[in-house]
Amino acid sequence: MITLSVVVPVRDGERFLADALASLCRNARHDFEFIVVDDGSVDATGDIAEDFRADLPGLAVLRNPAPLGLADARNAGLSAASGRYVTFMDGDDWLAPGYLARLVEAVDGLGCDFVRADHVQVEGRKRVVHRAPLARRGAVHDPRSAILPAGVRTMVDYPYAWAGVYRRSLGDLLRFPGSLHTAEDRPWIWRLHREAASFAVVSLAGVFYRRQVSGSLTQVGDERQLHFFDAFDLVFKDLEEEFLPKAVRNFCALLAHHLEIADRFTPALRARFEERGAQTAGALPAELVTEAVSGMSPEREAVLRALLPSLPGDSRRHRVREDT
């Protein structure tokens, strides 16, 4: 019986994939399986994955003839998974030795639907531990209780699918919106916290997450970035009123972040992005948008007020911590 399935979506990842798979070799167990989904790569990604068959027991390599996007690649891996639990890993990241065993031990011991963990952010030689927002560790919680309050960073502001482990019996709750090529983790984390029954956070930081990797979607300024708005359309759809202030604040903080780095867009795409931003914000309750914008740093507040000139002023002096 397979205890854990590890889903590794990757596209054109020849630069880092060997490091990622080598780290899985240092985590392998006879009851673990590893599913690499080659999402239409045109480089040596598929060959590198195949080269690890002898060293990584339980390795399966799936290939999409054409790129489908991260969401669909993860979903393909989920469909092929047979483990009691499932986790994710990006093809340009790596894991500390023994991390997966400790993750399984945590979710087994706690008996909850899913467990979230900390991670290490990597930029060149720099290493910084990023903690999951919930302070109380090693205890089981209601996932809905970790969405609020609106004015501080909570678990829906920590959407990284690879920073945790999940019971595969959660079924469709683990699937990503296949129509999205970016920001697919935002509606995913909101739905998970709204509909799952139990979760916990543990103090494990065994995922090493590379930032500023050329070619990653966070660095690319093409039309896929417009899917940010489609993602939040899914977040807002049928959202309970109690969670709306948090979702609005979440959206506004991320919108400001995208506008701050809008130089990666062509002028035409930037205009479309700003138009979508104004339309989406304009469809939200004005008082919640005003409250969210007024609680940001002066720099971000200025960016959003330039986009949304009809917002009334706010004289509050106390600003709350932003979500991104």
3-state secondary structure the chain: CCCEEEEEEECCCCCCHHHHHHHHHCCCCCCEEEEEEEECCCCCHHHHHHHCCCCCCCEEEEEECCCCCHHHHHHHHHHHCCCCEEEECCCCCEECCCHHHHHHHHHHHHCCCEEEECEEEEECCEEEEECCCCCCCCCCECHHHHCCCCCCCCHHHCCCCCCEEEEHHHHHHHCCCCCCCCCCHHHHHHHHHHHCCCEEEECCCCEEEECCCCCCCCCCCCHHHHHHHHHHHHHHCCCCHHHHHHHHHHHHHHHHHHHHCHHHCCHHHHHHHHHHHHHHHHCCCHHHHHHHHHCCCHHHHHHHHHHCCCCCCCCCCCCCCCCC
Which residues, other chains included, contact 85 with Cβ-Cβ below 8 Å and sequence gap of 6+?
Answer: 3, 4, 5, 104, 107, 165, 166, 167, 168
Task: Name the residue ranges covered by the structural domains of the chain.
Answer: 4-210, 223-307
Average pLDDT of adjacent 10-residue blocks, the chain of 324 residues: 98 97 98 98 97 96 95 97 98 97 98 98 95 97 98 96 98 94 95 98 97 57 88 97 98 95 91 96 96 94 95 57 55
- Return the pLDDT at 316: 47
- Superfamily of domain 4-210, CATH level 4: Spore Coat Polysaccharide Biosynthesis Protein SpsA; Chain A (3.90.550.10)
- Return the pLDDT at 211: 87
- Return the pLDDT at 30: 97
pLDDT in tens, 186-210: 999 999 999 999 999 999 999 999 9
> Alpha carbon 308 to chain centroid distance?
27
- Return the pLDDT at 214: 52
Sheet of 126-130: strand order equals 94-95, 207-210, 119-123, 126-130
pLDDT in tens, 142-155: 999 999 999 999 99
- Return the pLDDT at 317: 40
Tokens representing residue 134 in the block: 């919930």
- Return the pLDDT at 212: 66
